[in-house]
Structure 1
Amino acid sequence: MTTTAPPPSPTSPHLRLRLAPAGTLPRRLDGVWWPRSYDLLAELPQLLAGLPRAWGHIAGITVNGAAWSAAPGRMLVCNKVVRLRKAVARHSPNTVVLLAPGQGRWDLLVVPPDTTEEDAEPLMTGALSSPA
């Protein structure tokens, strides 16, 4: 198991995450995340720290195995174990699935880290305004 440091300090770049408005069900995506790299060990602590408390403890994360760098099967984030699963899903290769036992499942579209800001902005806005 890998241990990661607490989330970055406020002087680090802001989390690039947009969540769908509450109560807009049904929907295919719960949010859009634009990480700065494909390094899960570097990116996940900041993502998890930026999620709503109501989502509970995210205990499992599934990512596209072809897109992300090597990562352990689990990691310790802020003294909590998070299990990582890499899968190859043809139907949604650019998503990350977050699971919180007893709370729910959330699907986030992942904007590739190397996307320019000019291209990322419409992707992030459009993904959340698309019908289910």
Structure 2
Amino acid sequence: MSAISDAAAELYDALKTVDGLRVYRNIAGPGAAVQPPAAVLSAPSFTWETGCVGPPTDARWLVYLVAAADEKAVEWLWEHLPAVAEALDRVPSAAVQRADPGAYQASPSELPCYEIQVDVGL
């Protein structure tokens, strides 16, 4: 496995430790069917310390914490965000940088979410 695959597997495994959360990865992007409560591990973006020579040195994953679209969604997100961030931070090479509120484009509608930015050294 590559460093990228290894990092993705570690993040996925960390998310699976959060009780009551369905975890998705490698889905066909926004618009794919997601059943909340869920976390979606997106494809990463990459940076290189020395231009695009050799493998990337860092990756940034967006993890979407997705809630059901109801009157308790925001409170549910606030309640569960710390556990998800803590699980991701337990990955040795990962660091949660921020979490922004948003709407996850799921089939057939938008669902309330937090977009969690996770930086990983490769």
Shared fold per TM-score greater than 0.5? no
Structure with the larger strand share: 2
Comparing both chains, which one has the higher relative contact order based on Cα–Cα distances under 8 Å and sequence gaps of 6 or more? Answer: 1
